[in-house]
Amino acid sequence: MKALVVNNEKGGVGKSTIAVHLAWYFAERGKRVLFLDLDPQSNGTTTLAAHAVGIDAAALFARPVAVPSMASAGIRVLGGSAALRGIVAVDGKLIEQFRSNIKDASRAYDIAVIDTPPTFGVRNLAALIAGQFVLASIDLDDYASRALKRCSSTSSA
């Protein structure tokens, strides 16, 4: 299973929208998709509610989780919830448990799409460690454009 992480330290740039569309895209192309919503706002979970398996994504950090397998193409959602707000300490055991659960699920899925929260923390870090690909959505409004210009002029100095 390939794991694609949609991540950015800014809210409102379309992370959840892109993650949901990617899940649909892959499912429509015959893939078995595991959608993990690591954002307590749970927008991806709400959108894909019909595909939820009743397992809270927060459980992936706490204990071994048996993610139900899929025999054919489709989407299975491990939903976001308020419980994710309690996962804040950068702890190697939490990250390793998350990674182990992703690895165990990999036998039953072709791709995992992982939606992350807009503030960087252990959930983002665990997703980035477990993933093979990262998509960072950006919003090129005036403020963001100015910030990019400042960053590029600082790095070339």
CATH code, domain carrying 31: 3.40.50.300
Residue 48: per-residue pLDDT? 97
Q: Three-state SS for 135? A: strand
* CA atoms of 16 and 2, how far apart (whole Å): 18
* CA atoms of 77 and 70, how far apart (whole Å): 12
Task: Find the mean pLDDT for residues 48-68.
Answer: 96
Q: Which domain holds residue 56?
A: 2-155
Total-model pTM: 0.86
User: What digits encode the pLDDT tens for the residues 16-42?
Assistant: 999 999 999 999 999 999 999 999 999
CA 141 to chain centre: 24
CA 53 to chain centre: 16
Residue 153: per-residue pLDDT? 64
Q: Is the predicted pLDDT of residue 156 greater than 60, yes or no? A: no
User: What digits encode the pLDDT tens for the residues 125-139?
Assistant: 999 999 999 988 776
Q: How many domains does the chain have?
A: 1
Locus of tokens 């959108």: 47
Q: Is the predicted pLDDT of residue 87 greater than 60, yes or no? A: yes
**Token code pair at residue 119:** 């503030």
Which of 7-16, 76-85, 122-131, 148-157 is the least confident region? 148-157
Residue 157: per-residue pLDDT? 47
User: What digits encode the pLDDT tens for the residues 89-124?
Assistant: 888 999 999 999 999 999 999 999 999 998 889 999
* CA atoms of 58 and 30, how far apart (whole Å): 28
Task: Find the mean pLDDT for residues 63-80.
Answer: 95
Residue 141: per-residue pLDDT? 65
